[in-house]
Amino acid sequence: MIRDAALVASKDLRLEWRGRVGLGQVLPFALLCVLLFAFALDPDRGVLQRATSGLFWMIVLFAAVLVVQRSFSVEGEDGVLDALRLSGLAPASVYLGKVAAIVVQLLALEALLLVAVAVLYDTTLRGWGLLLGTVLLATLGIAGAGATYGVVGLRLQGAETLLPLLLLPLLAPVLIGATRAGDVALGRSAGPGWPWAAMLGIFAVVYVSLGAILFRPLMEDL
Amino acid sequence: MAPAPVVHLRGAVALVDRFPALAGVDLDVGAGEVVLVRGANGAGKTTLLRTCAGLLPVTAGDATVLGVDLARTPAAVRRRVGLLGHATFLYADLTVSENVRFWARASGATQEDGRAALDRLGVPSRLHHLAVRSLSTGQRRRVSFATMVARRPELWLLDEPHAGLDAEGRDLVDGLVAEAAGSGATVLFASHELDRAERVAHRIVTLAGGVVQSDERDAGGRDAGLRSDW
């Protein structure tokens, strides 16, 4: 299963590298959001700084929708989904491979976004352990839920507009947990941050486990 | 005792968007047979091939392919069949080599199987590092065929295999079909190029309205000349 998941992940990352959609469209979109929030809230610098964590994760969620859409749109082209069903790959392997590729893309995006946020929002990055744990667990949860709904979107008309409607409500707990943990890590909020990170971990495990189970029926004709 | 047929359908019904595209098909195909499925547009040819591939659920009747009950476990037959459809089943942004390598590994074949299949389909090595997006329709078709051949399927399901190919490519397809049947694989194919297809086929099954209208055994196939040329 791990070998097959790695096969799918490397294929997805190669497709992304060739298409440059992440670099050419998703990253500029995310950076533009960072900039626009800075314009909108700059008159009150305090608000911008206090909301840094929440704004960061909102932007990540928006960008994640685009990454997930791209990840699955290539499977909808020219009968490739049927070919995947005909291949010997277990649906759970395909799912885990797609989750892994989305995680890699989102982590790269988040690293660049953190730099942009630090510069434009005048935020000092600290609490690195908690910050790193939050980023990893939240990203896994986002990718897990995203890959599950991504394959649903392949079967639906108007998937581009439906995907955010389906996905974002499901990710509300991730947004809350990641924002709270981020606030603690950045020193914006007192109190323990690791319980929030633990909550993110639970959601990540639940989303990925459910996705691995549900991917087989979701790949079939509905 | 006669060997079990590779394809056994009795009153098989398959729905496409709630429409019975197969409305009670009766069909038996034995090992090594080459069966041409013909019929007008919408007769159910593509649906029949997709059903035999385990991609469409059988909602009524009996359907067994390679000993697998399609009504219960259609996924179990998928890795044992090869389907060449209207779509190429290729990633446009990956190169020819990357596509063949990915699909070969995904189906348990080796990279060497993939390379051999490309050679067999006459895909020149200068194309191997080009993105599929930049190939002509005929070249894509050959690469698509190569990904299928690399799997070494027991049942070949070919939907308009001659479409988009030049004369040399069509001859190549006919030779591959004859070779596959000679090695014990079974071939079920749909084609509108009846002159060419009838020369290759052992049997001709005509579909109309989602049912078998006629089944002509000992058709013009078993073309000895064609096979010996190969």
Q: Spell out the alpha helix ranges (H) of chain B.
A: 45-52, 75-78, 96-106, 111-120, 137-150, 167-182, 194-200, 224-229
Q: Work out the number of other CB atoms within 10 angstroms of the CB of residue A211.
A: 24
- pLDDT value at position B219? 56
Q: Comparing C-alpha atoms, which of B18, B19, B50, B54 is closest to residue B37?
A: B50
- Report, as ranges of residue numbers, the positions in chain B whose pLDDT lies below 50: 222-230
Structural domain total, chain A: 1
Q: Which of B86, B89, B94 is the closest to A83 by Cβ? A: B89
Q: How close does chain B come to A168, measured CA to CA in Å?
A: 29
DSSP letter (8 states) at residue A192:
-
Closest CA to A87 of B114, B148, B177: B148
**Pairing between strand B186-190 and B7-16?**
unpaired
Mean pLDDT of A7-34: 91
Segment A59-94, tens digit of pLDDT: 999 999 999 999 998 888 888 989 999 998 999 999
Q: Quick one: pLDDT at residue A79? A: 87
- Domain of residue A81 covers 2-220
Residue A160: pLDDT above 80? Answer: no
* CA nearest to A94 within chain B: B106
Question: Structure tokens of B191?
Answer: 């084609």
Shortest Cα distance from A146 to chain B (angstroms)?
Answer: 21
Rounded to two decimals, the ipTM of the complex is: 0.85
| pLDDT score, position B227 | 37
Give the least confident one: A95-99, A103-107, A163-167, B61-65: A163-167
CA distance B63 to B69: 6
- Interchain contact, B89 vs A88, CB within 8 Å: no
Best residue in B89, B129, B155 for a mutation probing chain A (most A CBs within 10 Å)? B89
| Partner residue facing A85 (CB), from B55, B91, B93 | B55
What are the angstrom distances between the C-alpha of B210 and each of A36, A204, B53?
58, 47, 17
Encoding tokens for residue A164?
């955010």
pLDDT score of B203: 92
Chain B: give the shortest CA distance to residue A153, in Å. Answer: 17
What pTM does this model have? 0.89
The string of DSSP letters for A49-69 reads HHTHHHHHHHHHHHHHHHHHH
Q: How far is CA B156 from CA A175, A189, B150, in A?
A: 49, 64, 12
> Residue B80: phi, psi to the nearest 5?
-100, -5
**Who among B93, B105, B108 is closest to A18 (CB)?**
B93
For the ranges A17-21, A132-136, B178-182, B218-222, the lowest mean pLDDT is seen at B218-222
